[in-house]
Amino acid sequence: MQVTYWAEHAWLGDRVEPGVAIEVTDGRITAVRTEVPAPPPGATTLRGLTFPGLANAHSHAFHRALRGRTQVGSGTFWTWRDVMYGVADRLTPDSYFALARATYAEMALAGITCVGEFHYLHHGPGGTPYADPNAMGEALIAAAAEAGIRITLLDTAYLSSGFGNGPGGEPPNRHQTRFSDGTADAWAERAAALKPAGHALIGAAVHSVRAVPADQLTTVADWAKDREAPLHVHLSEQTAENDACLAAHGRTPTRLLADHGVLGPRTSAVHATHLTDEDIALLGGAGSTICMCPTTERDLADGIGPAVALQRAGSPLSLGSDSHAVIDLLEEARAMELDERLRSRTRGHWTAAALLRAATEDGHASLGWTDAGRIEPGALADLTTIALDSVRTAGPAPCHGAETAVFAATGADVRHTVVGGRHVVRDGVHQLVPDVPRELADSIAALSG
């Protein structure tokens, strides 16, 4: 398949160029021509500012059903978790497919072309495996295909409910039995049966140091290393986790991961909110990516992670929408900078270009898509276009399009989403899922308890 897109304006990594022709063959960019004042014959026009497709590096698709429910009253992360368990208890492969398809379609409407799905809801009620032990994961892969986006399924080891007093940790509670394979070896055997597809990669995840006993961390790390696959982990999201880890092991969660070979350049630490100086040095020295999820971290009152210090230490940054309190990677990028401004009372920690890079190229790299996130020959033809004439974006000169995108635009300003050269969202309308709001409403209503 050959197609040419003409971008009215395009962000090419370090600048905005007017009139850019992007030629695509079989899903990859074959040529990028600047100074093209009008659409070439037969080209598809992308009005506004086009940049590489956005990568949502951390998602729990079923959390989309929590939006609104967990905003009533107050509570803590732990009371929020109880509500989350209630939704997880009611999911089946079919209902999970329906919810994930709608959620991933919402992502496409927000300009997201690739999602990292941190997947730990593996088994049936009571922990009984389905006839296909990977039925839930396969449902997510199929949902992403039908929504028209790429996915890295980060199959997650989740074996215990806490550190406990012995090497095996506390057994899973009644909700967590659906998450657990019993041992890391059993997890590895099941995960090995998952197969990549054209739109899907398979990676691994350690849910957290409290959910995978220390003597089984290496098994997960080696599984990912042998496959050169991405490896993600929730890290120090809560101070309670840090305190419990210190009590059980005499070291921080970051040090525990480092001592068991979990850190490295293919590893991404999600949240990394409550870190010591040594933790920051360990993560940066290993070249591990940090995935910040500001809208979730503020929604759950988790805190503000030391993203500036982590990047200075050597960690690339990526972004995720995590619990989907909102699905808007531009808001995540903006929030990372603005949260840091509130904490430090200084401005300008990242340029708009650096924030867009976290949302595009570095996010894709953290998910194993190293050939995405750039508008250049050889890269995957994944593109996002925002309007420059909405009530939020009108006014600034197009040369300031990156600043406009990060500091003013929202997902509602996305007009076009292209994945592998295919026009998935055209003029703000999803081309594969006819009525995304209705599918969201129906799939969430089916889970009401």
Residues belonging to the active site: 271, 322
Nearest to 419 by CA among 55, 24, 53, 117: 53
Would strands 44-52 and 289-292 be described as parallel, antiparallel, or unpaired? Answer: unpaired
How large is the angle between the packed helices 436-445 and 93-109, nearest 10 degrees? 150
Q: Give the separation between CA 229 and CA 203, rounded to whole angstroms.
A: 5
Tokens of 122: 């593996």
Residue 248 tokens, joined: 């059980």
**DSSP of 374-438:** --STTSB--EEEE-SSSTTT-SS-GGGHHHHHHHT--GGGEEEEEETTEEEEETTEESSSS-HHH
330, 406 Cβ separation under 8 angstroms: yes
Residue pair 8/18 in contact (Cβ under 8 Å)? The answer is yes
C-alpha to C-alpha distance for 396 and 390, rounded to whole angstroms: 11
- Going from the C-alpha of 223 to that of each of 16, 140, 157, 178, 244, the distances in angstroms are 41, 21, 11, 22, 27
**DSSP code for 132:** S
DSSP 182: S
Which amino acid belongs to residue 242?
N
The alpha-helical segments, DSSP class H, found in 42-166 are 77-90, 93-109, 135-147
